[in-house]
Amino acid sequence: MADEEKSEETPEETPAAPEAPEPEATEPEATEPEAEATPEPEAAEPEAAPDPEPEPEPEPEPQAEAAEPEAEAAEPEAEAAPTSKREQRAAARHAEASQRSARSPEERQAERLAERKRKAEQRRRRRVKERERAKTQKPAPAEPAIAVHAETTGRPKTRQGRVVSDKADQTITVRIENTRRHRRYEKVMRSTSTLHAHDATNDAHEGDLVRVVEARPLSKTKRWRLVEVLERAR
Residue 223 resides in a domain: yes
| Residue 104 structural domain | 91-130
Report if residue 170 sits inside a domain. yes
109-167, pLDDT tens digit by residue?
998 999 999 999 999 999 999 999 988 887 777 777 666 666 667 889 999 999 999 99
Q: Is 167 inside any structural domain?
A: yes
Task: Look at residue 180 and tell me if it is in a domain.
Answer: yes
pLDDT tops 60 at residue 25: no
pTM score, whole prediction: 0.37
Number of structural domains found in the chain: 2
C-alpha span between 222 and 215 (Å, rounded): 9
Q: Residue 38 domain-assigned?
A: no
Does 121 reside within a domain? yes
171 & 225 share domain: yes
Which are the contacts of 192, defined by CB distance < 8 A and separation ≥ 6?
175, 176, 177, 178
Residues 173, 125 within the same domain? no
SS3 content of the chain, % helix, strand, coil (to 5): 50, 20, 30
The predicted structure's pLDDT at residue 14: 47
In a domain, 42, yes or no: no
Report d(CA 24, CA 52) in Å as an integer.
Answer: 37
Whether 227 maps to a domain, the answer reads: yes
Q: Tell me the C-alpha distance between 17 and 19, whole Å.
A: 5
- How far apart CA 50 and CA 48 sit, in angstroms, is 6
Indicate if 126 and 166 belong to the same structural domain.
no
Q: Are residues 116 and 181 in the same domain?
A: no
Residue 93 pLDDT class (50, 70, 90 cuts)? confident
CATH number assigned to the domain comprising residue 211: 2.40.50.140
